[in-house]
Structure 1
Amino acid sequence: MLQLIFRNKCAACFRQFNKIEHLVEHMRTSYHSSHEPSCGICKKHCRSFESLREHVIGPLPKQECKNIFSSRGCKFCLSVFDSPYTLRLHQDRCQLSGVTGLIGRFSNLGIRDNLDHGNYTRGSSGQTVALACKMVGGGSDGSLDLCGRVCLTDEYDNIIFHTYVKPPMPVTNYRYETTGIRPEYLRDAMPQRQVQKKLQDFLCNGEPMWKIRPRAGKARILVGHGLDHDLDSLQIEYPALMIRDTAKYPPLMKTSKLSNSLKYLTQAYLGYDIQSGIQDPFEDCVATMKLYMRMRSQVHKIEPYPLATDPQNRNNFASWRQNELERMSPEQMLDISRSDFYCWCLDRRDT
């Protein structure tokens, strides 16, 4: 009986099934892979870091894992270390200082609205930039979001482009309490159409939109939080395959598969606070880029075809292979299972 239970136990999430065909169906729809967050103690796979956090910290953690994690686990990246001493050494690097917020406030002192391609065209393959906007209100009740300020930074928190934006329609609510934007800031600001063209040209980096591809191209990877909203407000089109959105990245989403706020993600996974009082788009750029870099730096098993959508993997769990799959062990089924999302660690391997 114990052997039967072990055979019908998922090697990734440890769910148990009465029949082997139920386990096969679970593997067919779960898309378990090495790219899922996993517990450094019991090796259980979780669909998101929030699920992993619940597993090792609470509110209903696995007690054995919680006991070990409490002394040797990093509450930011959720890694587990050999000793409390190595954990302390790691946390000095893992928890980022809130000084970035102070730097963001200083960025208010200057506007950098000249997008100089000269400094960024060399070695541009695989280059990554972060974008953030702050919205003012339009329409009769001020509820229509209009871009009033935009910032673009590189991987090293250097400001590439930073300007106020003059919307194409009248502003009826400047939302000063959070944006810090006053009417005089937008009176002679750069028109939105001009901002749109500068950003679009910079992101595409000389490549036609139809030719942009994720590997070995010139176009830049764009990082942000809620980028659909930002790009829509600027009326910019950009291929989804070049966008890295921290609001839509499955490992950073809630257990319920809803988005977390950037404020929460920064506090939980970077260890400092943002968006208190008047908000600076530079702060948002820095936070999203650091989240992206943290996710990109993860070390996962290297697979020649890492996605379930790759042609070589489409028949891994085909119904006509049912008998063959039922003869496999849970570990063998996990070995042929592939992810249903693009893990950002793959960006590192492509560069």
Structure 2
Amino acid sequence: MDYRYESSDNSSGRNKCAACFRQFNKMEHLVDHMRTSFHSVHESKCGICRKHCRSFESLREHLIGPLPKQECKNIFNIRGCRYCLTILESSNARRVHQERCQFSNVNAVGLLARMATLGIRDSLNIDNGYSRGTQVVALACKMVGGGSDGSLDLCGRVCLIDENENILFHSYIKPLIPVTNYRYDTTGIRPEYLRDAMPLRQAQKKIQDFLCNGEPMWKVKPRGGRARILVGHGLDHDLDRLQVEYPAVMIRDTAKYPPLMKTSKLSNSLKYLTQAYLGYDIQTGIQDPFEDCVATMRLYTRMRSQRHGAEDYSLASDPQNRNNLAAWRQSELERMSPEGLLALSRSDFYCWCLDS
């Protein structure tokens, strides 16, 4: 139901959402909207009109989409960064900022040069000199095909890097069942590469032990522990193919992170996210898992570095927030201003800025 309409009451903004600017027929409808919208300081916001958007894709459409807000589009075309969607003070400031913001040209060439000399590293050091505090690592796999028609994904190569893009583990993997399609055009994997490769079970144990970093799986906790944060794209599939278990609370998946998803709440491809938010192309021709690791790590650090307002309890699911917009407070809530309702609202997803 669409509650927007023009009236003298709405002209004052009384029933207008302070976050997304939707107009409502009655205050009770605005209260209902706030219960289900989960507006918060962690949402993407237009740097011009301050409208909240559910994702960066929504914000991009607001600024430069098929039907943008014209005033915002005009300013963005002069002072907006096409990668992080920030509004700068001037066109010259935008030029300087965008050169730093864009991971292209020298960065991409340097990445390709590093990929050409990577080699294989299968001596994963469990401690790696980092025993204090949580570490962040990125993982990516390349799949070969199994089964009668070669459509069954089997892990044929895996890479693990640290936050500084140093390789921790990079190895071909020998699957448990025969490979029927090496998918050479995209994986670059030949039969001889897997003949004497590390068995899946051995790689599985190495990776799982490294991620847990000496903590039992049932003791892994999001803060204050030794287990490592794991970054990747489509990690459910990669971990399933590796037969590695890891707690969801320690996973940062760029395929499932709401601010990076499409406006339809479907996942964007890693290739698109890298081009749109980092400014260079990946997965052209034969693909290397190191390249995917670097892209996901860069996306993660970019999302983590966003500056959002501080909140004592930042998730709507926290017990301290469950009564903020409770139905039994309906009369009280209807007397509040839209700004007051927004102050009570909390996010329904874990923002990566909280990892900082």
Same-fold status (TM-score > 0.5):
yes
- Aligned residue type for 1:134: K
2:317 to 300, 309, 312: 309
- Aligned residue type for 1:238: Y
- Aligned residue type for 1:60: L
1:36 maps to which residue? 43
Q: Give, in angstroms, the shift of residue 92 of structure 1.
A: 1.2
2:115 to 74, 97, 105: 105
1:128-156 deviation line (CA, Å, top 9, x unaligned): 00000000000000000000000000111
Q: Give, in angstroms, the shift of residue 104 of structure 1.
A: 5.2
Corresponding residue SS for 1:129: strand
CA distance in 2, matches of 1:249, 1:286: 17
CA distance in 1, matches of 2:273, 2:114: 18
CA distance in 2, matches of 1:221, 1:61: 37
Question: Conserved in 1, the CA contact under 8 Å of 2:126 and 2:209?
Answer: no
TM-score (norm 2): 0.96
Corresponding residue SS for 2:52: coil
2:240 maps to which residue? 232
Q: Give, in angstroms, the shift of residue 86 of structure 1.
A: 1.3
Q: Does 1:261 align with 2:306?
A: no
Question: Conserved in 2, the CA contact under 8 Å of 1:49 and 1:251?
Answer: yes
- Structure 1 segments of 4 or more deviating over 2 A? 1-5, 117-123
Unpaired stretches in structure 2, ≥5 consecutive residues: 1-6
Matches within 5 A, 1:1-351: 1-5=7-11, 6-97=13-104, 98-103=108-113, 105-107=115-117, 109-123=118-132, 125-348=133-356
Q: Give, in angstroms, the shift of residue 100 of structure 1.
A: 4.9
CA distance in 1, matches of 2:45, 2:205: 42
Corresponding residue SS for 1:96: coil
- Aligned residue type for 2:109: V
Q: Give, in angstroms, the shift of residue 101 of structure 1.
A: 4.2
Corresponding residue SS for 1:334: helix
Question: Conserved in 1, the CA contact under 8 Å of 2:127 and 2:213?
Answer: no
Unpaired stretches in structure 1, ≥5 consecutive residues: none
CA distance in 1, matches of 2:335, 2:321: 19
Question: Conserved in 1, the CA contact under 8 Å of 2:10 and 2:23?
Answer: no
1:196-225 deviation line (CA, Å, top 9, x unaligned): 000000000000001000000000000000
Q: Give, in angstroms, the shift of residue 106 of structure 1.
A: 1.5
CA distance in 2, matches of 1:44, 1:2: 22
CA distance in 1, matches of 2:129, 2:70: 50
2:4 maps to which residue? none
- Aligned residue type for 1:86: A
CA distance in 2, matches of 1:140, 1:47: 43
- Aligned residue type for 1:235: Q
Corresponding residue SS for 2:222: coil
1:96-140 deviation line (CA, Å, top 9, x unaligned): 122254145325x411100113424333x1210000000000000
Q: Give, in angstroms, the shift of residue 3 of structure 1.
A: 4.3
CA distance in 2, matches of 1:343, 1:4: 33
CA distance in 1, matches of 2:248, 2:128: 25
Q: Give, in angstroms, the shift of residue 88 of structure 1.
A: 1.2
CA distance in 2, matches of 1:130, 1:286: 8
Corresponding residue SS for 1:7: coil
- Aligned residue type for 1:10: C
TM-score (norm 1): 0.97
Question: Conserved in 2, the CA contact under 8 Å of 1:76 and 1:270?
Answer: yes
Q: Give, in angstroms, the shift of residue 43 of structure 1.
A: 0.2
CA distance in 2, matches of 1:165, 1:247: 24
Question: Conserved in 2, the CA contact under 8 Å of 1:72 and 1:81?
Answer: yes
Question: Conserved in 1, the CA contact under 8 Å of 2:185 and 2:286?
Answer: yes
Aligned length: 346
CA distance in 2, matches of 1:4, 1:276: 52
- Identity, in percent, stands at 76
CA distance in 2, matches of 1:104, 1:47: 37
Corresponding residue SS for 1:283: helix
